A = this chain, B = another copy of it.
């Protein structure tokens, strides 16, 4: 008998668990190593991936893109009406922006349809929701992605011409990014609600909240957003699903400035109370800041750095710095999370919103170690939060020293997702997310953790290598 069968075996099983099961069933011990073939086992993609790793022009391009991303300095430059500042929204177009990659009105999910209808009523293009539906069915209202207009919006992500928007400017590169205002929780437009109360709240935001903050900003001057976000990370936020600290820090600046302004006192009080009453208020500013720093790296030929990840309620889409405005899409993954009482996964819409721009910038799920309290909202234990942050180091170009994680002894957050590494390691970017009801009008029903589908990265790497052609493999 060969010695192998006489000795005690020490088995390490790599990949498929069924082999290990047999060893265990026979009374043996087995260390299981999680592994799957790179590029989802797609031979063509794996070959392209190998070419991409061998391609030094990609490495050089990534250095450029990552440096532009790191050095970008987003500042809150002001507030304006969307039609005045958002590129392509002026000149009286009946245009509604939405979250995620492009999607036709007829293909939209429930919450996004509800939100678009609400926006059409808000704009006065239709007198009621039924009339709004007829306009959309007739093709008389255009719908385009926020991302095509340098903008981002959470969940349905609706921005229509009369809405006030945050204007965030990159003090280094000069590029600007925009986002709408956060309406709070409950029945709100971004979750597909669109009744009179929702519309009236949007009017209040445009009439009182935005101008009051504008008045405060005139006293404060431009607010640097990186230090504010860095401080919030040291106060338990990951600035995606948890913005309690960032919102508090913002209110702490706005309060004295608003008192020192001449803005009508009663309206100022109502506006500040609205802001102070919403722990998520800072989210949209966080998103605009992330969009701004990623757009700084938005067009670097050959780079495999991810510059956008977004969901339209049907598909998940990503963009690379090296392929510019092209989207690479796949069906969105389910969200694994905690549901509010009375709701379950059956009620959930598919993963939705531009807010995964925060993860694209190394925040949100990537910075979960900063926000152990988030697990109370999205499920899991504090150690899970730390593991998410550590795991993301395997798929990024580096880390961002502007943002540190106290529980990891102030290690910098992993940032700059390299699509090659995602595909090679089979590790999908982690994303914190709210969960919308699949029907319009119900609103948020939970929150949880999900991930970007790897199929997007397969398509992106194939396209990137084809774009570069044979030049890179010289």
Contacts and interface: CB of A to CB of B under 8 A. Distances in A.
Interface of A: 231, 234-236, 244-245, 247-249, 251-256, 258-260, 265-266, 268-269, 272-273, 276, 372-373, 376, 381-383, 406-410
A411 B255 CA distance: 34
A169 to B, nearest CB: 25
Given A247-B252, A252-B255, A259-B272, 15 more contacts: A231-B244, A235-B235, A235-B244, A236-B245, A251-B255, A252-B276, A255-B256, A255-B259, A255-B272, A258-B259, A259-B268, A259-B269, A265-B265, A382-B409, A383-B409
Contact of A255 (B236, B255, B372): B255
A276 B256 contact: yes
Nearest to A248: B248
A253 B268 contact: no
B236 A256 contact: no
Contact of A248 (B249, B266, B373): B249
Contacts of A406: 236, 372-373, 382
Contact of A258 (B255, B372, B407, B409): B255
Contacts of A373: 234-235, 406
15 contacts: A231-B244, A234-B373, A236-B406, A245-B245, A251-B255, A252-B276, A253-B276, A255-B258, A255-B259, A255-B276, A260-B273, A372-B407, A382-B406, A382-B409, A382-B410
Nearest to A245: B235
A256 B247 CA distance: 14
Q: Quick one: copies of this chain in the complex?
A: 2
A269 B260 contact: yes
Contacts of A265: 259, 265
A232 B407 CA distance: 16
A407 B410 contact: no
A81 B190 CA distance: 49
A381 B407 CA distance: 9
Contacts of A231: 244
Name, among A256, A269, A273, A381, the residue most crowded by chain B CB atoms within 10 Å (CB to CB): A256
Contacts of A372: 406-407, 409
A273 B259 CA distance: 9
A207 B172 CA distance: 44
A410 B234 CA distance: 17
B256 A272 contact: yes
Contacts of A272: 255-256, 259
A236 B372 CA distance: 10
Contacts of A253: 276
A259 B245 CA distance: 22
Nearest to A374: B406
A269 B235 CA distance: 26
B248 A252 contact: yes
A466 to B, nearest CB: 46
Contacts of A269: 256, 259-260
A409 B259 CA distance: 40
A410 B236 CA distance: 13
